Amino acid sequence: MKLKITKKHSMENEPLVGLLFLLPSLLGCLVFYFFPVVFSLIISLFKWNLSIGANNLKFVGFQNYIGIFRDNIFTASLINTIIFTVSTVVIGISISLILAVLIAKTAFLKNAIKSMFFMPYISSIVAVSIVWMVLLQPSYGPVNQFLMSIGIQNPPKWFIDVHWALPSLIAMFIWQNLGYNVIVFAAGLSGISQDLYEAADIDGASGIRKFLAITVPMISPTTFFLSIMGIINSFKVFDQVQVITQGGPGTATSVLALYIYKEAFQFYQMGYASASAWVMLFIIFIVTVIQWKQQKGWVVYD
């Protein structure tokens, strides 16, 4: 007796087959994402020294959250993170847009130029950090050697200077992410109708006028996307700071992600670190919501 599989039976099994294919990914999300997030929220309400073990768990409620805002190092880290985020997003996006426009007007080697800008973005963060450490080495670095050769007797100490360490990290972060922003802006510029520029030419508009009246408004959805991603990436910056300065000198380059890492894996205060992580998440969420609410005032959609 032959078993006849009808189209109806195969269609009834499709949802089950689909779920079986999704099961490995779903399990991965549950084990490596959902469970750690929920666990960290629970742990943030406890005082727990990881070095002693799980036997010293003590429920403290919101005391960890209250203690965070009384911590001068957390306050300094939050201020540094805000300065870092605002600087990298505003300056980085502005430079990227200008470069994308200039590349779009270039007749030759557009793809080669884009590739050169994109290389630092796909390079190892550790390798890029070491290169910048060598370039900005206070005594023998090429940058300070050049500055001294043109008459500057006491050039900045860069990463080991309290006043220059954070600006140096900001410059490196902007440079490394410039290529990604340029590529995304270039894709957005290609979608702007040339009829708008031709009409502006007929009206006698200058290049700057066309940039401000046509390019900036029409590219605003791309700018909005890059600003959202830039804020998120800047708020969770960690690798560059850990490799180059470890938060020093003093707390000059201490940022929230590094602060959380130190509390968790150097001082083993897992509850305190989890509370700090949730505070950072809440700040990012609030900033993102504000941006979404404000986009109607400046983002132009076709």
- Written in H, E and C, the secondary structure of the chain is CCCCCCHHHHHHHHHHHHHHHHHHHHHHHHHHHHHHHHHHHHHCCEECECCCCHHHCEECCCHHHHHHCCCHHHHHHHHHHHHHHHHHHHHHHHHHHHHHHHHHCCCCCHHHHHHHHHHHHHCCHHHHHHHHHHHCCCCCCHHHHHHHHCCCCCCCCHHHCCCCHHHHHHHHHHHHHHHHHHHHHHHHHCCCCHHHHHHHHHCCCCHHHHHHHHHHHHCHHHHHHHHHHHHHHHHCCCHHHHHHCCCCCCCCCCCHHHHHHHHHHCCCEHHHHHHHHHHHHHHHHHHHHHHHHHHHHCCCCC
Q: What are the structure tokens assigned to 87, written together?
A: 């600087």
pLDDT in tens, 66-117: 999 899 999 999 999 999 999 999 999 999 999 999 998 876 788 888 889 8
Phi then psi for residue 269, to 5 deg, are -90, 80
- Which pLDDT value is given to residue 56? 78
**Mean pLDDT of all residues in the chain?**
90
Are the C-beta atoms of residues 251 and 77 closer than 8 Å to each other? yes
C-alpha dihedral, 249 to 251 to 254 to 260, nearest 10°: 130
pLDDT in tens, 4-54: 555 555 556 677 887 888 888 889 888 888 999 999 999 999 999 888 877
Q: What is the percentage of the chain residues whose pLDDT exceeds 70?
A: 95
Task: Give which of 197, 194, 223, 186 is closest to 299, Cα–Cα.
Answer: 223
Mean pLDDT, rounded, for 124-130: 94
Q: What is the percentage of the chain residues whose pLDDT exceeds 90?
A: 67
Residues of CATH 1.10.3720.10 domain(s) within the chain?
72-297
- Which pLDDT value is given to residue 4? 53
Mean pLDDT, rounded, for 218-230: 93
Q: What angle do CA 250, 170, 104 make, to 5 degrees?
A: 175
- Which pLDDT value is given to residue 107? 64
Model confidence at 125, pLDDT cuts 50, 70, 90, reads: very high
Please state which of the ranges 61-65, 161-165, 205-209 shows the lowest mean pLDDT.
205-209
Residue 1 pLDDT greater than 50, yes or no? no
Query: Among all chains, which residue has been given the structure tokens 């300056």?
Result: 91
- Which pLDDT value is given to residue 8? 55
The architecture in CATH of the region 72-297 reads: Orthogonal Bundle (1.10)
Residue 2 pLDDT greater than 80, yes or no? no
Are the C-beta atoms of residues 258 and 267 closer than 8 Å to each other? no
Q: Is the peptide bond before 249 cis (omega within 30 degrees of 0)?
A: yes
